[in-house]
Structures are given as structure tokens and as C-alpha cells.
Amino acid sequence: MYFTPIVALGLMALGAPVEKKAAPVRIASVESRVDDKKLKMGDPKPALRAELEDALSGVDWKREGVGAPFEVLAVLADAESAVTREGARVRCVVQVVIREPSGAILGTVSGTARGHDKTPSRAALEREVLEAAAESASAAIPEAVRRSRRGR
């Protein structure tokens, strides 16, 4: 009998909407310097944007000590994809420019990844390598922002 009010309060608390604070980062642009014809996956920009969004949404910005807003401009700077007798080989380089919303540059980071698969399935391997390069670049962003803002 005494548990009813406690359970009701608990259910109300669970049902209450939780406001999630927006991440301080915004992806301003995603580009590619790689000819789409070089990649089996086609246009890499949507995949790169999705990978960056996923990687950046997983960062605990409060724990990283980054609260003020900033923007990133990402580019697939280089990619190689080929099938040889040994299988598929892929390499991707993602470069990210980090800037204040005003446009002032905070820094740059990059991520590189390579992959090899004995099967000739290049498109899947390209996506995996692009994901790893984007995650590598994203992992360096919080430190680059902190370092730049400390120097001001």
C-alpha cells in the first residue's frame, strides 16, 4: 500500500522527457577530392557525413571539456582502392578543419586508415576503411579544440 505513491512517482520520472543538451559541434560541410569513379562505393560524401555524425555524437563533450560551439569542415582528401590477386586493398585519408562559428580556424586534424580483404569486395571494404579514417580524425578533434582555445 505504501509502495503505490513511490511507484507512481518513479513511473512519472521515467516517463518525463529528458532534455539532451545539443553537442557543441556542427558539421558545416563534407567534400571529396577523390573522383567518384575511383571508388566502387560511388559518391563518398554521404557515407563520410554519416560516419562523422556517428563518431561525433558518441563524444562526451562535457567530459572532454569542450562546451563552446565550433564547426568542422571535412574532406576525403585521398583514397586508393584496387583489386589485386591478393584481394582488395583500400586506403582513405580524411582531413578536418575545425573552426569557430565566426570562421576563425582552431586547427586541423586528419585520420588515415588502410584495409585489405582477401575477397574482392571493394565497396564494403571502402566503407569500412572510410569509417575508420573518419573515426580516427574525429577522435583527435576534442584535443585540438582544447589546445587551440587554451592558447588564446
Looking at the predicted structure, is the pLDDT value of residue 10 above 50?
no
What is the rounded average pLDDT of the residues 77-104?
Answer: 94
Looking at the predicted structure, is the pLDDT value of residue 82 above 60?
yes
| Predicted TM-score of the model (pTM) | 0.82
- Helices 45-57 and 122-150: crossing angle, nearest 10°? 50
Cα end-to-end span (Å), the chain: 61
Looking at the predicted structure, is the pLDDT value of residue 39 above 70?
yes
Task: Name the CA radius of gyration of the chain, rounded.
Answer: 21
Which is more confidently placed, 152 or 149? 149
Q: Which domains does the chain have, with CATH numbers?
A: 22-150 (3.30.160)
- DSSP 3-state assignment of 111? strand
pLDDT number for residue 86: 87
Identify the band that residue 151 occupies on the pLDDT scale cut at 50, 70 and 90: low
pLDDT tens-digit map of 96-119: 999 999 999 999 999 999 999 998
pLDDT tens-digit map of 116-137: 999 868 999 999 999 999 999 9
Q: Which helix (DSSP H) or strand (DSSP E) does residue 129 occupy?
A: helix 122-150
Of all residues in the chain, what percent carry a pLDDT higher than 70? Answer: 84
Residue 89 neighbours by CB under 8 Å, 6+ apart: 80, 81, 82, 83, 114, 115, 116
What is the rounded average pLDDT of the residues 10-18?
Answer: 45
Amino acid at 1: M
Q: What phi and psi, each to the nearest 5 degrees, are found at residue 31?
A: -130, 175
pLDDT number for residue 107: 95
- DSSP 3-state assignment of 85? coil
